[in-house]
Structure 1
Amino acid sequence: MNEMEQPQKNSGIDRRMLLQLSGAGLAAATFAATPASAQYMGTWDKVFPQSDSVDHRKVRYTNRLGIELVADMYMPRDLDTTQRHAALIVGHPYGGVKEQTAGLYAQTMAERGFVTIAHDASFNGESGGQPHFISSPEATVEDFSAGVDFLGHLPFVDRERIGVIGVCASGGYSLAAAQIDPRIKAVATVSMYDMGGAKWAWNGQPLSDEARIQTLSEIGAQRWAEADGDPVRYGALPEVLAEDTDPITREFFDYYRTPRGAHPRATTAMAVSGDASYLHFRPFDHVDMISPRPVLLIAGENAHSLFFSEQAYQRAAEPKELYLVPEAGHVDLYDKVGIIPWDKLQSFFDDNLSA
């Protein structure tokens, strides 16, 4: 596992960063990553090609919990910084990092005129929070509001025109954030996962009381073991496939464990002791509270996760839309640029984040 930077002790937006970002000669902190595969060139440490029409900068800001978040910021090269523009926060899949899917979405939407940031969730990637490689629903939801704080202090961003794109697990997190943060004016999810629903009920089949008690008992035993000095136990994708590996694991493996999407900071590891927190994370229970702000739910028609988007659509209030991508699976919408509905995303945010 990679060593992560300790979070700085400042709170709120870094004013020096704001001054750097406000001018045409933005000064970016460069980052040299140890390559995981041949697709990395120089300081460009993403798993997708760099766009010639987009300016990229690394930025840092602090969330309400005092955790420093690190994000990649993308802007059109020809952006008129004397005007205020619409902006988007893009969240990555569970176990992923900003250099993968979220960055691809952020850069592509910047090509289409938006100011965007793709952040690493708290306790993951380059963001702060110790220990690393844990998942906290509260912190991950808060990270989206912290992104609103950051963008809203930029002189070229309109505070009333900030939206969110959440991919996979970040779809559920972004819906939860929008329920309690009205500053998020529009939400689009892609291949959404409800991590609470995944632990509690899969495709509408609730976890039995016996299974729930057994799961929590095992987590409790693991916490005792770690408190007594045993190593932290992590869950992660396998490093190699076996003959009996299930199709869903194979689908994720094809992205995270091959040059297609592998990144040295995307270990996919998460401490299993954190699973208990998801048994009371239910982002669909109050998804109707987002209304009258719009919700767009994008999913592949063949995705194993489609039922999550269908559940959210059923519970959401208008305006809402469920948009199915023909013949697409779950992970297809991570990076297959030819089938990702970019025009749909652009029109959704153009319409709902208009000046």
Structure 2
Amino acid sequence: MQLRRVSLCAAPASVLLSLCWLTVPPGGATPVTHTVGPLTLEFFNEGDVGYWTGTKDWTAAEIDAVKIMAQTYTDTFLNPEARPVQIDLFWGTLGGGAIGQSLNPIEADGTVAGTYAEWVWRDGENLSQPGPPQQNKYDSALQFNQSFTSPYTWNIGTEAPISTEIDFRSVVVHEFAHTFGFGVSTYQSGTDTWSTGGITNWDSFLRDSAGNAPEVGTTGEPGNFNQVDNPVYFVGGNARAAYGGNDVPIYAPLTFAPGSSLAHLNEAQFASYVMSYSIAPGQYNRTLSSLEWGVFEDIGWILPGVVPEPGTAVVILATSLLALRRRAARQPAP
């Protein structure tokens, strides 16, 4: 038995407005709030309404587990945040073998796209939280499967899971990684193109076996990127260095799997890693590898002991200013 972990809504904000936000009921939730570094964690109990509706209350042990796994990132990333990053957390009933999912609205400036956590924390840009004013505001939303078919259940504690348990902490640290940009893509399978709004930093390092790369508003460059190349590759320098100087295989099965394809390390080489697309009962890995941290460094996160290259701050600033100008241009005139 293997269970999937998925990433949702990796698309430009204009697409998300119709696909994700307009179906959200009005706010009114009273979630339990905890702060971990720059993260504001909002735990939605049974009946609390946000992007989803909570289906059960969070226990103190479950909340503590989430907070501890959040510290994996808050204790490591050194980027100064522009404001707190709000992450809403829910229990729910997930189908299709999914045990957890990460929903991340994306902002794009015509060239570069990213999750709100990337823009606000990694790049230091004070974006307003997405969504219509009457709805609950969030930068990312995580949902976890409430229950499984007997005899399977969650392992919440620090001990290793037994053969009938799914390790909750392993799933939490995985879904947080998507919030921070790991595996987030603007590829649109319906049209076989990347968004006209921009590509993510993750996208910019993807290559198929023929050397084709994602390109804004096209099927790829110089040729059509093969999203079912089984695998494709991540070519960031830090990740490659951690993988013996080789391109890193990325999950791209022969049948495209939304939420899994192009969003995870390839199963054949990395089944035991945090950022594998699936996890088996009794399996656990709560610690990111040097390769996975290398990916984060490649997509723009500052890690301990890493000195930004000269000019990096200027590039980020220029990108941010461009994004602000373009966003401002889309606002209605007073």
Query: What TM-score do you get using the length of structure 1 for normalisation?
Result: 0.27
Structure with greater helix percent = 1
Query: What TM-score do you get using the length of structure 2 for normalisation?
Result: 0.28
